[in-house]
Chain A
Amino acid sequence: MSETTLSPAAVAEPAAGAAGTGRKPAPRRAVRATPLGERFVAAFLFACGALSIFTTLGILGVLGYETAAFFSEVSIVDFLGDTEWTPLFAEKRFGIWALVSGTVLTSLIAMAVALPFGLLSAVYLSELAPSRARRILKPLMELLAGVPTIVYGFFALTVVTPLLQAVIPDLAGFNALGAGIVMGVMIIPMIASLSEDAIHAVPRALREAAWGLGASSLSTIFGVVLPAARSGIAAATTLAISRAIGETMIVAIAAGQQPRFTFDPRVPVETMTAYIVQISMGDVPTGTLEFRTIFAVGAALFLLTFVMNVFAQRLARKYRRLG
């Protein structure tokens, strides 16, 4: 293979020789003359990449088609203007905000748990833990991310909620609080691991600069290292929020399945994902308006995470530019 592949240098040499004898330099086409085997590999690799793109396009196509069918029967004004979501009732209402509020509420609770704990774990692992503790703790924590979410869901329902009820007596058996907290615990390793990578990547020179100025190790961490790692931390946070918004099993099991427009963490709510599970597992016939609601909800969910990601990318780019 290596004999038949012409490197640019190998091509340039005879060309230079030709120029010396007064003839025109040879055209560079020889560089592109790749053997059949390489062309096949290139095509195969392209197909691998294209597969995921076409899958995404396919999903978008179905989502778009079904959503359009849904909106031919339900006004978008009702969809965005109502706060009641009762598509299975005799008197149907299609106010998406009842589901959006459930998603936003549980995600906010999850982030309120995951962000401080994840970030502080990352600081500990990267800056303070002795290297042996770090070698043991980091994989252990990442193991937490491997627990199936259904286990987390039942943990929220049967352990965390009863414990919380001891403190908050009027907490419902299904509630946003327990589900949100457990979802946060699930996300801690993700934030901790990604933030730890970002903190670890901060050059030692910056730490030394701060130490050399007489900063303590804590003020070095919080005044210099964390700000320098902020684009990585922002990226970790974004991924975590997307994960929280998309999380399905925990909220389907522990948060209840009652769509309501509320930000009260004590009562049952239903998230967008939990609603999709409820309908797709229930006995609603396909092709009906009731069934199409899940595509409309899915499209809204997609839009939500899409906006999040665009926002986060801009944020990360802005930080990268600054530092």
Chain B
Amino acid sequence: MNAPEATGRFEADEVDAWFGTKQVLRKVNLLIPERRITAVIGPSGCGKSTFIRCLNRMHELVPGARITGRIRLDGENIYAPEVDPVLLRRRVGMVFQKPNPFPTMSIRDNVLSGLRLTGALDRSRAEAIAEQALRGAALWDEVKDRLGEPGIGLSGGQQQRLCIARTLAVSPEVVLMDEPCSALDPIATARIEDLLSELKARYTIVIVTHNMQQAARVSDRTAFFLTGELIEVAETDTLFTSPTDRRTEDYITGKFG
């Protein structure tokens, strides 16, 4: 399905988004380079989660929500009428704030769920795919002897890595992460952060985070949002050491937020 040049490069162009009559994104223009980690930071309610939910067309699933503007993935407008959002989401995976493994499924079935739900599972390769995805999410060694046990029996951090494995099993180009560590303890958070730097060799990663230290630790580029606007985007080192906008500086030095 993916063309050879399909690498997961996003370009957002004049993106506006609303919940009902409330505008939550204003004229956002942002380039997300392929195979790097882009962090999206900003105070609560700044539109950062909404923005990444526009990237896999999840925003429009909320009743009353809409979006205008263009978002191109590898040069192709994902809001063009001929684009099927269901197929798009197989290329742009998502990991959520709270670990949400499927409660009725075993660890193995959770990993394979994406392929099963889309009817794309090659049974003869199921075990290999599950192992590969679990290794990719740095969970294999912890669960290899109990793949048949329920996914919700794992710890919070393991559940979140299971959700990452589930996302990787569909072989997306992009992985969106909406505050993936906010429900986890520091050790589990550190494991996921380590994992991110491994994943960027193969995936474009966009991570929303409340935690500026986390953005500084894991990301290559950082975008700062405030009240629905993109204030500043730069290489992470640059943004945290010499921000050009006064509001960015105030936020990263803790004057508000």
Which residues of A are interface residues toward B (Cβ below 8 A)? 131, 203, 205-206, 208-216, 219-220, 223-224, 227-228, 230, 322-323
Q: Closest approach, in angstroms, between the C-beta of A217 and any C-beta of chain B?
A: 8
Sample 16 A-B pairs with CB under 8 A, ordered by A number.
Answer: A203-B100, A208-B96, A209-B96, A211-B58, A211-B89, A212-B89, A212-B96, A213-B89, A213-B90, A213-B170, A214-B88, A216-B86, A216-B118, A228-B104, A322-B104, A323-B104
Contact present for B86 and A205 (CB under 8 Å): no
Contact present for B100 and A208 (CB under 8 Å): yes
Docked complex Cα distance between A203 and B97 (Å): 14
Which one of B61, B94, B104 contacts A227 once the chains associate, using CB atoms below 8 Å?
B104
Whether a CB of chain A sits under 8 angstroms from the CB of B72 is no
Known: A206-B102, A224-B102, A322-B104. A215 touches B94 (CB 8 A): no
- A-B CB proximity, top 4 nearest: A214-B90, A213-B114, A323-B103, A215-B117
Closest B-chain residue to A230, C-beta based?
Answer: B104
Which residues of B are interface residues toward A (Cβ below 8 A)? 56, 58, 61, 63, 86-90, 93-94, 96, 98, 100-105, 113-114, 116-119, 150, 152, 163, 166-167, 170
The main secondary structure of chain A at its interface with chain B is: helix
Contact present for A213 and B93 (CB under 8 Å): yes
A-B Cβ contacts below 8 A, count: 82
Contact present for B89 and A209 (CB under 8 Å): no
Q: Closest approach, in angstroms, between the C-beta of A234 and any C-beta of chain B?
A: 12
Contact present for A205 and B117 (CB under 8 Å): no
Known: A209-B96, A223-B116. A214 touches B170 (CB 8 A): yes
Closest B-chain residue to A223, C-beta based?
Answer: B117
Which one of B86, B114, B150 contacts A322 once the chains associate, using CB atoms below 8 Å?
B150
Q: Closest approach, in angstroms, between the C-beta of A113 and any C-beta of chain B?
A: 27
Residues of B within 8 A of A322 (CB): 103-104, 150
Contact present for B103 and A219 (CB under 8 Å): no
Residues of A within 8 A of B63 (CB): 131
6 new A-B contacts, CB < 8 A, other than A205-B96, A323-B104, are A205-B98, A209-B100, A213-B93, A213-B166, A214-B118, A219-B118
Known: A205-B98, A213-B114. A219 touches B119 (CB 8 A): yes
Docked complex Cα distance between A215 and B150 (Å): 21
Residues of A within 8 A of B105 (CB): 227
The main secondary structure of chain B at its interface with chain A is: mixed
Known: A209-B96, A209-B163, A211-B58. A224 touches B150 (CB 8 A): no
Q: Closest approach, in angstroms, between the C-beta of A106 and any C-beta of chain B?
A: 32
Contact present for B104 and A214 (CB under 8 Å): no
Docked complex Cα distance between A214 and B170 (Å): 9
Residues of A within 8 A of B102 (CB): 206, 209-210, 224, 227-228
Residues of A within 8 A of B58 (CB): 208, 211-212
Contact present for A215 and B86 (CB under 8 Å): yes
Residues of A within 8 A of B163 (CB): 209
Q: Closest approach, in angstroms, between the C-beta of B133 and any C-beta of chain A?
A: 12
Residues of A within 8 A of B104 (CB): 227-228, 230, 322-323
Residues of A within 8 A of B150 (CB): 322-323
Contact present for B117 and A213 (CB under 8 Å): yes
Contact present for A219 and B117 (CB under 8 Å): yes
Kindly name the residue among B63, B98, B100, B117 whose own CB sees the greatest number of chain A CB atoms within 10 A.
B117
Residues of B within 8 A of A203 (CB): 100
Q: Closest approach, in angstroms, between the C-beta of A321 and any C-beta of chain B?
A: 9
Docked complex Cα distance between A223 and B114 (Å): 10
Docked complex Cα distance between A151 and B100 (Å): 48
Docked complex Cα distance between A107 and B114 (Å): 38
Which one of B94, B103, B119, B166 contacts A206 once the chains associate, using CB atoms below 8 Å?
B103
Docked complex Cα distance between A209 and B119 (Å): 16
Closest B-chain residue to A224, C-beta based?
Answer: B102
Q: Closest approach, in angstroms, between the C-beta of A232 and any C-beta of chain B?
A: 13
Residues of A within 8 A of B166 (CB): 209, 213
Contact present for A214 and B96 (CB under 8 Å): no
Q: Closest approach, in angstroms, between the C-beta of B162 and any C-beta of chain A?
A: 11
Docked complex Cα distance between A118 and B170 (Å): 34
Closest B-chain residue to A131, C-beta based?
Answer: B63
Contact present for B103 and A213 (CB under 8 Å): no
Closest A-chain residue to B115, C-beta based?
Answer: A213
Contact present for A223 and B89 (CB under 8 Å): no
Q: Closest approach, in angstroms, between the C-beta of A30 and any C-beta of chain B?
A: 42
Docked complex Cα distance between A211 and B86 (Å): 7
Kindly name the residue among A203, A215, A220, A230 whose own CB sees the greatest number of chain B CB atoms within 10 A.
A215
Known: A205-B96, A323-B104. A214 touches B119 (CB 8 A): no
Q: Closest approach, in angstroms, between the C-beta of B172 and any C-beta of chain A?
A: 9
Residues of A within 8 A of B96 (CB): 205, 208-209, 212
Residues of B within 8 A of A206 (CB): 100, 102-103
Contact present for A224 and B117 (CB under 8 Å): yes
Contact present for B167 and A212 (CB under 8 Å): yes
Docked complex Cα distance between A323 and B100 (Å): 12
Closest B-chain residue to A205, C-beta based?
Answer: B100
Contact present for B114 and A214 (CB under 8 Å): yes
Docked complex Cα distance between A205 and B97 (Å): 10
Which one of A211, A223, A323 contacts B113 once the chains associate, using CB atoms below 8 Å?
A223
Docked complex Cα distance between A210 and B58 (Å): 11
Q: Closest approach, in angstroms, between the C-beta of A134 and any C-beta of chain B?
A: 12
Docked complex Cα distance between A206 and B104 (Å): 11
Residues of A within 8 A of B152 (CB): 323
